[in-house]
Amino acid sequence: MISMQNILERFIRYVKIDTQSDPKNPAFPSTEKQWVLARLLEQELLDLGLSEVHLSEQCYLTATLPSNVDHVVPVVGFVAHIDTSPDFSGNNVNPLIHRNYDGGNIVLNADRQIILDATYFEDIQQYKGQTIITTDGTTLLGADDKAGITEIVSAMEYLINNPEVKHGKIRICFTPDEEVGKGAHQFDVDHFGAHWAYTMDGSQIGELEYENFNAAKATVTVKGINVHPGYAKHKMINAITISQQFINGLPSHEVPELTEGQEGFYHLHNLTGDIEKTTLEYIIRDHDIEKFKERKETMFSLVSSLNKKMGKEIFSIDIEDQYFNMKEKIAPVMHIVNIAAEAMKKENINPIYKAIRGGTDGSQLSFMGLPCPNIFAGGHNFHGKYEYVPLESIEKATKVIINIAEITANKYQ
């Protein structure tokens, strides 16, 4: 029997440690505070009795649960990330526990009138009667991805304490800096030594994902000329206002707030500057590789046409690919997705196959030679004050990990 109380206490212990990453810091990991949780986890894994526990100089924590069967079984890995989003405060997280949720609104902070509205965030209503863990309205919760860490550690603890459950060799890894897109950059696939792995980094219960966006980031620089406004006619070029021509040149409906499913988008997420220089920072996303290429070409062409219109090099652009759709690498080994689906069905969970509108460490790892689908961790409304996770979802994900280990061992007898 998995102890719900142990799972709850473990999760609360993890989320109270601030591990936000920093996209502006080129260091790896990008914040020193990620080491705090990494070292705590290192000691926990040692105390549980896992072998080959190793915390690398880059803050990758790996460990092994040795096989307890006498036949050869492929090595399966499980991966989660230590850091939380830099987009919203992860400092002084104060989780609130709501037992036997009644299906209605949840008051997160009465003083500030912050309410998790069940009609706006309607997914929460499916968890009526369960234990809901929320924020207090002042920080994010950190279920992304400390729920995943909790699930992996809890599953390893269960397998150690219940040797009658047969499994092959299992490798686990907790990575830094996933939220800033660098989580897999220094991952040593050969050292990890798994035949395949799963990231425990999805959202609602049942999610099983092996497709994600192709992704790139684009930086558009607009050069202006500053002249005294009283004498500026036909002389001043205001980079701030001219930049609007680039923004308007892209399809206005192809933005995150107006797209869903496998629809791609251009997302202007930062604009800074002054009259002489303005910078637009975009992310480009599409599941289809050809459409992804077309999106990048659209931005290059727009820069070229605007410069031609202006009669000088006012606009410049730099585009850098970030990650690609892991479906290309997962499709040839679909049995690893089928094993995860079987593990869910064993817990009466209907797998929800979704194309991720984002990316995970798994997308990069798949292209590095480690096929790595993504499994639900249970959380909702990531990266903000309305984040929550049902305790029962964490428990179910823990059981799915255990089932994957057992199913794999049985299939390879």
Strand locations in 364-408, DSSP E? 374-376, 388-390
Task: Count Cβ atoms below 10 Å from residue 321 Cβ, excluding itself.
Answer: 12
Residue type, position 347, single letter: E
Half-sphere exposure (Cβ direction) of 400: Cα atoms closer than 13 Å? 34
Spell 164-200 as b/e; 16+ CB within 10 A means b. Answer: eebbbbbbbbbbbbbbbbbbbebbeeeebebbbbbbb
Q: Which of 220, 217, 142 is nearest to 181 (CA)?
A: 217
Structure tokens, 378: 């249970």
Contacts of 354 (CB under 8 A, 6+ apart): 207, 208, 209, 211
Contacts of 384 (CB under 8 A, 6+ apart): 87, 88, 140
DSSP notation for 31-94: -TTHHHHHHHHHHHHHHHT-EEEEE-TTS-EEEEE---SSS----EEEEEE--B-TTS--TT--
The values of phi and psi at residue 128, to 5°, are -55, 135
188 in helix, strand or coil? coil
Strand locations in 155-243, DSSP E? 170-175, 196-202, 207-212, 214-223
Residue type, position 252, single letter: S
386 and 121 Cβ atoms separated by less than 8 Å:
yes
Residues serving a catalytic function are: 83, 178
Residue type, position 236, single letter: M
Burial zone of 135 (CB within 10 Å; 0-12 exposed, 13-18 middle, 19+ buried)? buried
- The continuous run of DSSP H or E covering 162 comes out as none
